[in-house]
Amino acid sequence: MTEIKKIAVLGAGLMGHGITQVAAQVGKYEVSMRDIEQKFIDNGMSMIRESLQRFVKKGQLTEAQMNEILARIHPTLDLKEAVSNADLIIEAAPENVELKKTLFREADGYAPSHAIIASNTSSVSITELASATKRPEKVCGMHFFNPPQLMKLVEVIKGAKSSDETIQTVLDVSHKLEKETVLVKKDCPGFIVNRILIPALNEAAALYWEGVADRDDIDKAIKLGLNWPMGPLTLLDYIGSDTTLAIAEVLTKELDPKFHPSTGLKQMVKAQLLGRKTGKGFYDWTQK
C-alpha cells in the first residue's frame, strides 16, 4: 500500500482551505495548497489563520503549535510544483465537470505514478473524472463536508475502476484525519448524503418562494420536527444556493427528473443571493 506523506489540495476556496487545514493540523501532513490566482491563495491562508487562532483562543492549540501547522502548508500557483511530489492529491475545484476533468488530466501528467487522485466533488461521477487520467485505478471520491475543520464525515466513493488498495488508503488517511467514513460502493450522482439532502433543500426553497410559510417557520419546523441541528434554509446559506443548484442539475440529468431544481432555488442564484459567500441569501450574513 502507498504510504501517504505529502498531500496536494487543488483549490483554496471554501472546501479546499478547510481540507488543507485538517490535513496539516490533524494529520500532520506536509500539504501543498494550489489555486489559479494569488487572491484565492491569500484568502485561503487568511481563513486558515483565523480558524487556527480560534483554536488558540479556546486553549486547544498553543501559538507554537499554530506556527508549526502553518509551516506544513505550502501555498502555490504552480500545479506541477503542487503535485510532483504528492502521494495523495485532493481536488477541491468548483462543481464543473469539464473544469474538474481538465484539472485531473493535468495533475495526472505531473504527479508521480504511485499518487492517488481523489475528488472532493459532491455530485460529479468519479468514473468520468477517472477517465481523464491514465490511472483510473488510483482515482476515487473523498467527499468532505462543510466546514471540513468541524464536520466529522468523509464519503469515500469507489469509481468503476478504483482499486481496493486505493479505497483502503483513502479510508486510512481519512481516519488519520480523525474523520468517520462511509463507503459508497457504487459510483452514483450525489452519493449518499446529497442524494437524500438536495431534494429536501430544494423543497424548502420552493416552500419559501411559494409563500407557503415564512423563512423562520420553515427552519423551525425542520429543526424541531426532524431534529436537524439547523434549518434547511440556514443550511442552504452555508452550502450556497449555487452549489445546491449545480448538484440538483447533475442529479436531474444523471438520475431522474424528480430532482429538478425549483424556481425558488434558481431565482436565488439569478439574484446572486448565494448565502454566506455573498453576504446575503435567505438570511443576511453581513451583520453576523
**Which residues does the annotation mark as catalytic?**
122, 143, 155, 194
Q: How many CB atoms neighbour CB 157 within 10 A?
A: 28
The position carrying cell 452555508 is 238
Q: In which region does residue 34 sit, left (phi positive, over 0), alpha (psi from -120 to 50) or beta (all else)?
A: beta
Give the three-class secondary structure for 103: helix
- Pair 79, 110: CB distance under 8 Å: yes
b/e burial code for range 202-238 (CB count within 10 A of at least 16 → b): bebbebbeeeeeeeeebbebbeeeeeeeebbbbbbbb
Among 94, 106, 114, 82, smallest CA distance to 7 is for 82
Residue 4: partners with Cβ closer than 8 Å, 6 or more residues away: 29, 87, 88, 116, 169, 172, 173
Give the three-class secondary structure for 162: coil
